[in-house]
Amino acid sequence: MKTSRRSALQTAAFAGVSLLTDSQVRAAEGGDFYVAKKGRINQSFVTWNFRPLTIPELAKLAVKFGVKSIELIGPEHWPMLKELGLKCALAGSHGFAKGFAQPDQHAECLKVLEQRIEQCAAHGVPAVITFSGFRKGLTVEEATKNTIAGLKKIAPFAEKHKVTVALEMLNSKVAVEMKGHPDYFADDMDLSIRMLQAVGSPYVKVLFDIYHVQIMHGDVITRLRQYKDFIAHYHTAGNPGRNEIDATQEINYPPIMRAIAETKYAGFVGQEFIPVREHVKSINEAVQLCDV
């Protein structure tokens, strides 16, 4: 299941992975690619955080690492994934700047989500992301009522097409330059789950971003066990800094991955950390850490 990194990178370059820098290649030459093989955790790559690697480059690297999905990319890329034997585990939608906390944004969010759900159903994409958006002076009670109402509007459409809508909880503590989201409404996992319970649809669930949950709550394993039936998708990143998920930070990912596997979760875990070191080496280490 292992090939030399030099050989793998040469193969990737031949296949069109052209933007790996000389330093990335040198960093990868010192050992072997780790290929995910245990099958308990289905791994996926988010793309924005691994720039300057392009989507096609990252997809071809995913094949090398045994990663099964590239996510949060547009439908124009989905045929390419299919050719490579990959999936898109989670589709993008309207972005976190808008969402269901604000009634005047419902129509726009619903329009985008309905279009994406139809595309997902046609291409076998299991889930699409959505957001609460910002409070903008609303009370918790007002924003909660609005979000539940909006999610109830999209629930029948999601159920009809058998595509899960995943509400992402984001942290509101960390400054914007550190990838925080001040004033974001759904910044509490417990409240997010209560809203999903009120919606009452098996096709409206939560995106459990481990990084954001750690910042807002801690008790990651306790919560993922408690809320396992409401989790559509997971994301990773190190804290502090949203960087590598290794021993340089406070979240211990291998036991978290084992806990996820023990819940019989069959979805995907998206790698969404921002490397500060050589991208290929950091991705390789993350894949190995999560293959439990």
Which pLDDT value is given to residue 175? 66
Judged by average pLDDT, the poorest of 30-44, 155-169, 174-188 is 174-188
The pTM score is 0.89
Q: What is the pLDDT of residue 16?
A: 40
When pLDDT is cut at 50, 70 and 90, the band that residue 180 belongs to is low
- Cis check: omega of the bond before 52, within 30 degrees of 0: yes
Q: Inform me whether the pLDDT recorded for 24 exceeds 80.
A: no
Structural domain contains residue 9:
no
Has residue 290 got a pLDDT over 50?
yes
Domain assignment present for residue 214? The answer is yes
Q: What is the pLDDT of residue 138?
A: 97
Least confident residue range of 4-18, 54-68, 135-149:
4-18
For range 2-20, the mean pLDDT: 39
How many residues in total does the chain contain? 292
Is 94 part of a structural domain of the chain?
Answer: yes
Kindly report which listed range (18-27, 271-280, 283-292) carries the lowest average pLDDT score: 18-27
Q: What is the mean pLDDT of the chain?
A: 90
Per-residue b or e along 114-140, where b marks 16 or more CB atoms closer than 10 Å to that residue's CB: bebbebbeeeebbbbbbbbbbbeebee
Map tokens 């279009």 to a residue: 115
Nearest to 153 by CA among 137, 165, 143, 141: 165
Evaluate whether residue 16 is within a structural domain. Answer: no
**250 Cβ neighbours under 8 A, 6+ residues apart:** 214, 238, 239, 240
Is 226 part of a structural domain of the chain? yes
| Residue 31: inside a domain | no
Per-residue pLDDT, 5:
34
7 within domain boundaries:
no
Residue 211: per-residue pLDDT: 97
Residue 6 has a pLDDT of 33
d(CA 252, CA 275): 17
Q: Report d(CA 89, CA 279) in Å as an integer.
A: 22
Window from 11-20, 54-63, 237-246 with minimum mean pLDDT? 11-20
Q: Provide the CATH number for the domain around residue 229.
A: 3.20.20.150
| Domain that residue 55 falls in | 37-290
Residue 28 lies in a domain: no
Query: Stretch 36-48: mean pLDDT, rounded?
Result: 96
Number of domains in the chain: 1
